[in-house]
Amino acid sequence: MSRSIDLAVIPGDGIGPEVVAEGLKVLTAVLPQDVKLETTEYDFGARRYHATGETLTDADLEQLKRHDAILLGAIGDPSVPSGVLERGFLLKLRFAFDHHVNLRPSKLLPGVATPLAGDPKIDFIVVREGTEGPYTGNGGTIRKGTEHEVATEVSVNTAYGVERVVRDAFARAQARPRKKLTLVHKNNVLAFAGHLWTDVFHRVAQEYPEVTTEYIHVDAATIYLVTQPERFDVIVTDNLFGDIITDLAAAVSGGIGIAASGNINPSRAYPSMFEPVHGSAPDIAGQGKADPTATVLSVALLLRHLGYEAEAGRIEDAVSADLAERATLPARSTSEIGDALRVRVAAG
Amino acid sequence: MSRSIDLAVIPGDGIGPEVVAEGLKVLTAVLPQDVKLETTEYDFGARRYHATGETLTDADLEQLKRHDAILLGAIGDPSVPSGVLERGFLLKLRFAFDHHVNLRPSKLLPGVATPLAGDPKIDFIVVREGTEGPYTGNGGTIRKGTEHEVATEVSVNTAYGVERVVRDAFARAQARPRKKLTLVHKNNVLAFAGHLWTDVFHRVAQEYPEVTTEYIHVDAATIYLVTQPERFDVIVTDNLFGDIITDLAAAVSGGIGIAASGNINPSRAYPSMFEPVHGSAPDIAGQGKADPTATVLSVALLLRHLGYEAEAGRIEDAVSADLAERATLPARSTSEIGDALRVRVAAG
Ligand SMILES: CC(C)[C@H](C(=O)O)[C@@H](O)C(=O)O
Ligand SMILES: CC(C)[C@H](C(=O)O)[C@@H](O)C(=O)O
């Protein structure tokens, strides 16, 4: 394990800078003395787009590539047309760095409010494919703006792309106590892609005899996420289905205010990127109202990815302890929550 | 309004025949004496597929076409490979009869259990496009079964197809007290189709100045469906997004056991088809355990479509009254629930 971390930091728009500051605070506090942390800040997002028209250039990618990992706050602002920063920055980065494992854990921690009734047990991870499916930008428009317009979107799925993410998910399922993996797709309708996913899934399953497998259609999966979330341990799914079900999963397990994610390239050929699932929330930006917990948990995923398992665990324990007490505390500011977590990981 | 109804009845597989029998029982009871109801039963589904290899032939379509409407129980059985009956029957029928308005109401009625905490107010309808999007079967596979397989799915969206369903949704929103219409899509990523949907939506909105409009990404929509379902009045969306969010909507508003749907061709050029959202549930088939409520509510949608508004309302009132009492009653069989509803509509 390298005893230095060279981190690219992208605070971004809205509440991004505020939550990233707390993430770095906790990261600094948790790292052993001998680990040298170096951070380089990058000014991507709406400000840069308005100033230069650029979202993410080849030169930017060259620079980012040199780092060990990337921590991102949030990108997006109402002043920028919908889609420009999403496709020009977020998706461009995922594709350029081949972030094919989009990892999104969902765990309902004690003390955390859920919109679900009763006392649901929620503890699963979603492995969302990150570089294929309907996200490739394939498709087009003819006769735009006329009554004869036709617009297509092409979902592209390759054996190569599906197999590597399915393998990653099986390995993660194998490493968890319950060892259960659910494939979520819509193979009764999307038969071409569905056949490929199902076929690869069953083939790789042969190599993991200890892992229990099941298949669920994406529409039914949304039902189970609210009626039987305890059913899930590890889910593997396509890029778009993963986008949809992870927002729902975040909602039922405490909200996107605490949902973390990693855009991972397991080969380490490129740096992986870690970010909260929430957006830039411009309505509360700059007011110290944002919850930095999702960013702090993303830092834990980042540390685990770089091999700092114990430190990742300490952050997660600190967050659990903090969340368990929250309901009893008066409302705290972004930096007060960050400070509380910093103190806990330093003591832990 | 025609004073006769010539109905095609497709009991189908699993619990289909049981729930359809109750639907017809209630239909017969609610119709005024002078309305002549004629029913013709069709034996589609797994049995026929196994016997003949056929799912839905051109000759079948010719026969079905002559009816005023179609009532379907459920199609699907584990003995048939996934997708065969879905695509060969259900989707084939939707496409052949141009069922472009897939109507799915969600209303949480008093006495009905919801997986959501608190006391959520849920009363909205989803207008799901039914003949385009990723459901067209466009796409393909090359190098099948090899490590170089590539599978594509093409979402096809036309101005013609989008505009007609968006218009239908605006008209429905205009007719409801709240007059609010939400477009659900993913236009920040699926930019070709997203642009078409958004553009048409804004254009048609000009003609409905009284209707409040909003746009929500599909991932965020799943969050709101569990955290703020009262936000929605009418939702219009694409075929696949509609498939996903209506299962979730059914789950939060009492479960798919009571969710009804209509596959509607508003032009009446072809008969529309009405069916419960649930499937054939082979595990409980033939035991009198199935809840016929979703089918009975589908009969109400069918009657409303044919112009029998008062009768549709009477069925809905009967269902509301029955559901309000259910928690206090011992469990009832399929036909006991049907009998109770029959008695209520006859008295109503
Ligand atoms: C912002 C958007 C491009 C992105 C996605 O669709 O992947 C977001 O919803 C997410 O889930 O990270
Ligand atoms: C069975 C399947 C083809 C169908 C669909 O995907 O439309 C079902 O899920 C539905 O929602 O009616």
pLDDT at B2 over 80: no
Nearest-CA residue for ligand 2 atom 6 is B243
Q: What is the pLDDT of residues B243-267, one digit of tens each?
A: 999 999 999 999 988 999 999 999 9
Tokens 């076409």, located at residue: B65
Residue of B77, B80, B89, B90 to test ligand 2 pocket, by largest number of atoms within 8 Å of CB: B90
As a whole number of angstroms, the distance between CA B219 and CA A158 comes to 24
pLDDT range class, residue B105, cuts 50, 70, 90? very high
Question: Which residues of A are less than 8 Å from B112 in CB distance?
Answer: none
CB B99 within 8 Å of CB B93: yes
Quote the pLDDT of residue A224: 98
pLDDT range class, residue B242, cuts 50, 70, 90? very high
Q: Which residues pair with A39 in a beta bridge?
A: A7
Q: What is the pLDDT of residues B267-305, one digit of tens each?
A: 989 999 999 999 999 999 999 999 999 999 999 999 999
Q: So which residues of B are the catalytic ones?
A: 135, 186, 219, 243, 247
The DSSP annotation for A229-247 comes to GGG-SEEEE-HHHHHHHHH
Nearest CA-CA distance, residue A25 and chain B, Å = 30
How much is the average pLDDT of B98-109? 98
Cα three-residue angle A269-A273-A278, rounded to 5 degrees: 160
How much is the average pLDDT of B195-207? 98
Annotated catalytic residue, options A98, A186, A308, A322: A186
Q: Which residues pair with B260 in a beta bridge?
A: B276
| Long-range contacts from B208-214, C-beta under 8 angstroms, 24+ separation | B208/B170, B208/B173, B208/B174, B208/B181, B210/B174, B210/B179, B211/B170, B211/B173, B211/B174, B211/B179, B211/B180, B211/B181, B212/B178, B212/B179, B212/B180, B212/B181, B213/B180, B213/B181, B213/B182, B213/B183, B214/B180, B214/B181, B214/B182, B214/B183
User: What percent of chain B lies above the pLDDT cut of 90?
Assistant: 97
Angle subtended by helix axes A191-205 and A159-174, to nearest 10:
40
What distances in angstroms separate CA B318 from CA A201, B29, B321, B345, one per listed residue?
A: 47, 12, 5, 6
pLDDT at B35 over 70: yes
Beta-carbon separation of A192 and B116 below 8 A: no
pLDDT at A2 over 80: no
Does A243 qualify as catalytic in the annotation?
A: yes
Tokens 């700092």, located at residue: A308
Q: Which residues pair with B181 in a beta bridge?
A: B213, B234
Q: Which residues pair with B124 in a beta bridge?
A: B106
CB A109 within 8 Å of CB A320: yes
> Per the annotation, does A257 bind a ligand?
no
As a whole number of angstroms, the distance between CA B235 and CA A265 comes to 37
Cα three-residue angle A226-A228-A233, rounded to 5 degrees: 110
More confident residue, B348 or B115: B115
- The answer, as to whether pTM is greater than 0.85, is yes
Question: Which residues of B are less than 8 Å from A227 in CB distance?
Answer: 115, 251, 255
CB atoms within 10 A of CB A302: 29
Question: Which residues of B are less than 8 Å from A145 in CB distance?
Answer: 199
What distances in angstroms separate CA B146 from CA A127, A143, A206, one per listed residue?
A: 23, 38, 17
> A189 CB under 6 A from ligand 2?
yes
How much is the average pLDDT of A169-178? 98
pLDDT range class, residue B112, cuts 50, 70, 90? very high
Q: What is the pLDDT of residues A112-159, one digit of tens each?
A: 999 999 999 999 999 999 999 999 999 999 999 999 999 999 999 999
User: What percent of chain B lies above the pLDDT cut of 70?
Assistant: 99
B84 φ, ψ to 5°?
-65, -50
Which of B248, B258, B277 best tests the A interface by mutation, with the highest count of A CBs <10 A? B248
Quote the pLDDT of residue A348: 72
**Nearest atom in ligand 1 to A75's CA:** 1
**Nearest atom in ligand 1 to A239's CA:** 7
As a whole number of angstroms, the distance between CA B131 and CA B99 comes to 7
Q: Which residues pair with A101 in a beta bridge?
A: A129, A264
Classified as helix, coil or strand, B114 is coil
User: Searching chain A, which residue's CA lies closest to the CA of residue B190?
Assistant: A153
pLDDT at B1 over 70: no
B244: nearest Cα among A243, A343, A177, A103: A243
Name the closest ligand to CA A85. 1
How much is the average pLDDT of B157-161? 98
As a whole number of angstroms, the distance between CA A49 and CA A45 comes to 6
Q: What is the pLDDT of residues A42-68, one digit of tens each?
A: 999 999 999 999 999 999 999 999 999
> A223 CB under 6 A from ligand 2?
no
As a whole number of angstroms, the distance between CA A229 and CA A221 comes to 9
CB A122 within 8 Å of CB A108: yes
From the list A159, A220, A246, which residue is nearest B149 (CB)? A159
User: What percent of chain A lies above the pLDDT cut of 90?
Assistant: 97
Nearest-CA residue for ligand 2 atom 7 is B243
pLDDT at B348 over 80: no
H or E stretch including B276? strand B272-276
pLDDT at A1 over 90: no
Quote the pLDDT of residue A173: 98
Quote the pLDDT of residue A330: 94
B90: nearest Cα among B13, B164, B168: B13
Q: Could you tell me how many CB contacts below 8 A there are between chain A and chain B?
A: 213
Q: What is the pLDDT of residues A226-250, one digit of tens each?
A: 999 999 999 999 999 999 999 999 9
Nearest-CA residue for ligand 1 atom 3 is A86
Quote the pLDDT of residue B155: 98
User: Searching chain A, which residue's CA lies closest to the CA of residue B227?
Assistant: A115
From the list A117, A153, A244, which residue is nearest B222 (CB)? A244
Cα three-residue angle B335-B47-A213, rounded to 5 degrees: 90
Domains of chain A: 1-105+259-348 (3.40.718.10), 114-123+130-253 (3.40.718.10)
Q: What is the pLDDT of residues A288-347, one digit of tens each?
A: 999 999 999 999 999 999 999 999 999 999 999 999 999 899 999 999 999 999 999 998
* Backbone CA torsion sign across B98, B100, B101, B104: positive
CB A170 within 8 Å of CB A205: yes
Q: What is the pLDDT of residues B331-347, one digit of tens each?
A: 999 999 999 999 999 98
> B90 CB under 6 A from ligand 2?
yes
pLDDT at A259 over 60: yes
Average of per-residue pLDDT values in chain A = 97
Nearest-CA residue for ligand 1 atom 10 is A243
Quote the pLDDT of residue A3: 87
Does the beta carbon of B119 lie under 8 angstroms from any beta carbon of chain A?
A: no
CB A318 within 8 Å of CB A341: yes
What distances in angstroms separate CA A16 from CA A19, A119, A190, A278, A285, one per listed residue?
A: 5, 32, 37, 10, 8
Question: Which residues of A are less than 8 Å from B189 in CB distance?
Answer: 83, 86-87, 91, 134-135, 240, 243
Quote the pLDDT of residue A327: 87
B297 φ, ψ to 5°?
-65, -30
pLDDT at B23 over 70: yes
> B189 CB under 6 A from ligand 1?
yes
Eight-class DSSP state of B33 = T
